[in-house]
Amino acid sequence: MTLRRRFRTPGFLLAWLVLVLPGAGASARAGETDSPSDPASLSFERDVRPILKEHCFHCHGEEPKLKSGLDLRFVQTMLDGGLTGEAIVPGDLDGSFLWHRIDADEMPPGDAKLSSEQKATIAAWIDAGAPTLRPEPEEIPPPGEMVLTQEDAGFWSFQPIQRPDVPVVEADASLVRTPLDAFLLDRLHDKGLSFGPEADRTTFIRRASMDLLGLPPTPEEVADFLADDAPDAVDRLIDRLLESPHYGERWARHWMDVAGYADSDGYTLADPVRPWAYRYRDYLIRAFNADRPWDDLIVEQLAGDELVAPPYEQLGPEDLDRLIATGFLRMAPDGTADGEVDPVVARNDAVAETIKVVSTAFLGLTVGCAQCHSHRYDPISHEDYFRFRALFEPALDVSDWKLPNARLISLWTDADREQAKAAAEALAQVNTERSEAINDLVNRILEKELEAAPEELRQPLREARDLKPADRSEEQVELLRTYPRVLVTSGNVSLYDAKAYNEITAEFAKRTAAVEPKRPADNYVHALTEIPGKVPTTHLFLRGDPNQPAEEVDPGELTILTVATGSPDIPIDDPNLPTTGRRLAYARHLTGGEHPLVSRVLVNRIWMHHFGRGLVASTGDFGVLGDRPSHPDLLDWLADDFMQGGWTLKRLHRMIMTSTAYRQVSTRRPELDAIDPENVLLGRQNVRRLEAEVVRDAILATSGTLNPEAFGPSVPVAPDEAGRIIVGKDNRDSAGRPSNADQSLGNAALRRTLYVQIRRTMPLGLTESFDPPDLSPSCPQRDSSTVAPQSLMLMNNPFVLEQSEAMADRVIASAGDDPSDRIRLAWQLAFAREPDAEQVAGALDYLDRQRSTLADQLKADDAEAETKPDPDRLPLASFCHALLCSNGFLYVD
């Protein structure tokens, strides 16, 4: 019997849920789960059960067969005991067998032992009489049965989203520009704090531009904003930035982290390239720029193919985008095309990694932890995992697997196919005629060679030559050994008459070259689809082993998420669709407006990118091990407002970025640091370092060399002669050794990093030091470190040195000959602000000292150059290099 069927019938699980659910939401608003420090208030459900669930339930309760016959899921079953008798004696620690095994570190087995704090909690609980918060069920669910407690169901993130009232702020009311200011101020006032001062305009425009575009503002844009005295200047600045085509590029990159976007399959060192993956990236850019509602995007990414009628031919733009969107489900590492790996393992790994991507992206839960056993921390059962997997099994059917290239969908039209057919026929005709021409040459040479033999041997030689080597008699072999030149073939005819052979080859090479362009270029979509009419069966795998299938499992939502909102109707096979309809039904369930996680997870990510930290700091984990929301009411208000406002991001950006909270300075204040040193309450803005890609993009924009070309195939990466991964052509030979071939890609190498190929085994060298996304399989949240290799990379990387010179050339061309003007322009380009007099003076002194230091090099350049070099260029390039390496460039206030 499947979990879905059990859930729909009276039984142990249902009775237990009915018993525990009243009042389940009581702790949801506060999100508090910390254990009480007072031993007198210890309880099994709140304090002890989570410890046993983490370390013991997988052997003593969550498997159908209990180890030693002992079930630790309830106090009652501990009192019943196992093969060695009762596990605990309430009030008698020394008489409790379970305690002795734990205290001696004999249990749990293996290296993962209980901490001293966990041991102390269990000991104090037993001494206190093993109290429970409520009566336990009269009928205990059998081992392996899903058990949900009130603490599980009452966890904050599993509660329905409720729109709270916006707090009324009386003090500092003028600071409330948007509703989110009221929520934040209300908390700050509770601590005797308030917002910090507003950032100056130069700071604000750089912050806003980097946030929305990932590019610095130009000096002209800064000047225009500073000159705008209108009351709505900030609003219009935000609107202008949101309308920039670079907005879609910036925010598509954020979601690509979550999706685990890569231009290669990963999994093995071979790491085959995915030449058509870029279409998904381009789909995201278009969607963000058009501000398409996210409920539509979620449905398309999970089930776009189920909105398009197969066969997928003659597609219009809307249907094409729906198919492209399913590339989201093709981003996980996939090693199934590699013949060197176990196909069963590789297929199941591809499915498992896809489940991780989907669950962290939309649910903010680590569902993958339940692949081999029930989740040790969150209320996600082993069976839940396979119910979730069953949603995707019709498209990712391990029993009828489609290799990556077999999943590609051709975008050729009927006319393209006809043209391709005609080109193939013409090419076949050229090849036939080439073979005939070479055979004619072979026959002419054969006749000539036969003439060199006695006439009576010519026919025997001809017959011997025409036989297969294995069919020749000893006499024929000896005859051919005497006259070996009659063994002329199409493969060796060039050795007999190279001139004639080369003329034939050249002629037909021209004819082939004339035919090949007539074939339409390949044009594919990297998508996920189902085979119409095929409905695979999903089985639970014992301990996650695909070689140990157990009972059949139906598709469905995680049980814990159905407690408050009910179970969605997920079909086994929708009779109204050519596909099963499972993913489509689930996607519509996620976007129906009642799901407790989806909009919370989405708005929290947006918040993180604007403030450097989410309202829930662990953006990819809203479970027990994740952080609790710093402002739960604000999170729910934003989540509800996001849905009620049409699921559009630009509306949310405007609300956040026009708020007083967002406009604050990032300067620390003693009174704030004393109470809130981590700035959780947001009494100031946070200083943030540029992400890996933005470092490179900002350098290109500042130097003036950025190629703004958008969309299209990814620009390749390759190792250079030193082994560094650069943007360039791969010049390695068949043995993998670098050759002398040119690696230059010209202006294409200067495109935004978004368009540079993402190879899982070859991360771009320049960005590798700046915490690029970890794509194993996806990156719900990036790290941000400050380490010495970052400075070393910027100081010595050839790309950075070249761009420093390009920046100097830009400054020279725009600022004229005055050194002070050059310094001011360079400063504006790098930091979006004017230098003060002291900074200009210091920079002039630096240029003088650099000019003296570089004098010998300038003389050498002068001697070799046809035209006299600018003696100020290299010192200025050195100054520009220093600006690009500075914290003022790498961080946003």
pLDDT tops 90 at residue 581: yes
Question: What separation in angstroms does the CA of 329 have from each of 193, 396, 497, 714?
Answer: 46, 10, 57, 19
DSSP assignment, residue 128?
Answer: T
Q: How confident is the model at residue 41, as a pLDDT? A: 87
> Does the pLDDT of residue 855 top 90, yes or no?
no
Per the CB < 8 A criterion, the answer to whether 806 and 705 are in contact is yes
Give how far Cα 666 sits from Cα of 608, 705, 757, Å.
15, 31, 35
- What CA–CA distance (Å, rounded) separates 851 from 861? 14
Q: Which residues of 97-134 are buried (b: 16+ CB within 10 A; e: fewer)?
A: bbbeebeeeebbeeeeebeeebbebbbbbbbeebbbee
| pLDDT exceeds cutoff 70 at 34 | no
CA–centroid distance for 371 within its chain: 20
Residue 21 pLDDT level (bands cut at 50, 70, 90): very low
Q: How confident is the model at residue 312, as a pLDDT?
A: 93
pLDDT of residue 446: 95
pLDDT surpasses 70 at 14: no
Q: Mean pLDDT across the stretch 302-325?
A: 96
pLDDT for the residue 868? 67
For position 865, what pLDDT does the model report?
66
Residue 681 has a pLDDT of 98
445-467 core/surface letters (b: 16 or more CB in 10 A; e: else): bbeebbeebeeeebeebeebbee
Average pLDDT, the chain: 92
Q: List the chain domain ranges.
A: 3-154, 173-243+604-688, 293-410+527-596, 414-520, 689-781, 798-892
pLDDT, position 145: 86
Confidence band (pLDDT; 50, 70, 90) for 857?
A: confident
Statement: residue 163 has pLDDT above 70: yes
Mean pLDDT, rounded, for 693-705: 98
Predicted pLDDT of residue 11: 31
Whole-number percent of the chain with pLDDT over 70: 94
Given pLDDT bands bounded at 50, 70 and 90, which one contains residue 148? very high
> Average pLDDT of 722-726?
92
Q: How do residues 324-352 score in pLDDT, each as one tens digit?
A: 999 999 999 999 999 999 999 999 999 99
Q: Which alpha helices (H) appear in 451-541, and where do they start and end? A: 455-466, 474-482, 498-515
For the cut 80, the answer to whether the pLDDT of residue 708 exceeds it is yes
Q: How would you classify the pairing of strands 408-410 and 549-553?
A: unpaired
Residue 398 has pLDDT above 60, yes or no: yes
**870 against 273, higher pLDDT:** 273
Query: How confident is residue 862, by pLDDT bands cut at 50, 70 and 90?
Result: low
Can you read off the two tokens belonging to residue 201? 């305009």
Q: Please tell me the predicted confidence (pLDDT) of residue 861.
A: 67
**Tell me, what amino acid is at 333?**
P
pLDDT digits (tens, 9 = 90+) for 51-89: 999 999 989 998 889 999 999 999 999 999 999 899 999
Does the pLDDT of residue 229 top 70, yes or no? yes
Judge whether residue 721 has pLDDT over 80: yes
Q: What is the pLDDT of residues 253-266, one digit of tens each?
A: 999 999 999 999 99
Higher pLDDT, 282 or 723: 282
